């Protein structure tokens, strides 16, 4: 049976966004006069901590010094603005199959939602960059990291998406790219399909219903085709 709704993770699932995030973090640090720089290798480790503000706090603990808890929100707002500018400058593409799946599901009357660790302006920036449409024209429901008490791997953001959809977990399916995403969706009771991304290829996806290279029709489970 077809699920009534598809709930998409954003970073790594809709598009390979993490290099744009990393660039935004590094440019923000540099502009603020911080001698912080996250290499790809460092960032791969840091991605285990979901959420940019949380990631900065983990890095401060590793460095032994840095911005205070009071300063981090403003630093993160600068990062969000910079990320928006990076996406608006072009060059970001949806991952293979995403545009088609979204269009097909919408035409079939399935509801479309987002459950993400990132914040609402970043979902907006991605939808404008990749669909040239506002996020609420692409998705019926958006549930974002700063709206919930606990980010992934906690179930909160998926539970919020389900509540806004007015659906039970068995009526929807989550599409994810990371272990933290799988844990979050499973904790909310959702079946999960995984498309590993550049930074998550080595993750443990135990609990996923299927792990597929991308969301093109040939790879999709029958119920999503």
Residues annotated as catalytic are 9, 11
Roughly how many angstroms between the first and final C-alpha of the chain, as a whole number? Answer: 11
Does 117 bind ligand XBP (CB under 6 A)? Our answer is: yes
Alpha carbon separation from 74 to 36, 77, 85, 186 (Å, rounded) = 16, 5, 17, 33
Question: Which range binds ligand XBP by CB under 6 A, 50-58, 65-73, 124-132, 134-142?
Answer: 50-58
Does 12 bind ligand XBP (CB under 6 A)? Our answer is: yes
Number of residues that bind ligand XBP (CB under 6 A): 19
**Site for ligand XBP, residues 52 to 71, rule: CB under 6 A:** 52
Q: Which is nearer to ligand XBP, 2 or 124 (CB)?
A: 124
Does 9 bind ligand XBP (CB under 6 A)? Our answer is: yes
Question: Which range binds ligand XBP by CB under 6 A, 5-13, 89-97, 131-139, 204-212?
Answer: 5-13
User: Any idea of the CA torsion for 199, 84, 113, 198, to the nearest 10 degrees?
Assistant: -10
Alpha carbon separation from 102 to 132, 180, 194 (Å, rounded) = 14, 23, 16
Q: Which is nearer to Mg ion, 26 or 116 (CB)?
A: 116
Does 196 bind ligand XBP (CB under 6 A)? Our answer is: no
Does 116 bind ligand XBP (CB under 6 A)? Our answer is: yes
| Phi and psi torsions of 157, nearest 5° | -70, -35
Is the backbone peptide bond immediately before 94 cis, with ω within 30 degrees of 0?
A: no
Q: Which is nearer to ligand XBP, 2 or 54 (CB)?
A: 54
Q: Which is nearer to Mg ion, 119 or 178 (CB)?
A: 178
CB 50 within 8 A of CB 151: yes
Does 122 bind ligand XBP (CB under 6 A)? Our answer is: yes
Question: Which range binds ligand XBP by CB under 6 A, 117-125, 135-143, 162-170, 208-216?
Answer: 117-125
Does 118 bind ligand XBP (CB under 6 A)? Our answer is: yes
Angle subtended at Cα 133 by Cα 19 and Cα 200, rounded to the nearest 5 degrees: 25
Does 152 bind ligand XBP (CB under 6 A)? Our answer is: yes
- In the chain, DSSP assigns E strands to 5-8, 111-115, 141-143, 172-176, 192-194, 210-211
CB 140 within 8 A of CB 172: no
Q: How far apart are CA 65 and CA 60, in angstroms?
A: 5
Which residues of this protein are in contact with ligand XBP, per CB under 6 A?
A: 9-12, 18, 21, 50-52, 80, 116-119, 122, 145, 152, 178, 181
């Amino acid at each position: 049976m077809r699920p009534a709704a598809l709930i998409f993770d954003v970073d790594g699932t809709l598009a390979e966004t993490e290099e744009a995030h990393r660039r935004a973090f590094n440019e923000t640090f540099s502009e603020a006069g911080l001698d912080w720089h996250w290499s790809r290798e460092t960032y791969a480790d840091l991605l285990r901590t979901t959420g940019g503000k949380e990631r900065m706090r983990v890095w401060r603990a590793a460095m032994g010094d840095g911005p205070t808890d009071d300063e981090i929100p403003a630093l993160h707002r600068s990062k969000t603005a910079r990320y928006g500018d990076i996406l608006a400058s072009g060059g970001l593409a949806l991952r293979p199959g995403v545009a088609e799946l979204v269009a097909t599901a919408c035409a079939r009357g399935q509801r479309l939602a987002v459950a993400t660790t990132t914040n609402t302006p970043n979902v907006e920036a991605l939808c404008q960059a990749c669909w040239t449409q506002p996020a609420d024209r692409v998705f019926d429901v958006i549930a974002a990291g700063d709206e919930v008490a606990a980010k992934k791997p906690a179930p909160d953001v998926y539970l919020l998406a389900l509540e806004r959809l007015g659906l039970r977990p068995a009526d929807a399916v989550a599409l994810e790219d990371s272990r933290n995403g799988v844990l979050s969706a499973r904790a909310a009771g959702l079946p999960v399909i995984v498309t590993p991304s550049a930074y998550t290829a080595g993750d443990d996806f135990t609990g996923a219903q299927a792990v597929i290279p991308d969301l093109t029709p040939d790879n999709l489970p029958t119920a999503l085709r």
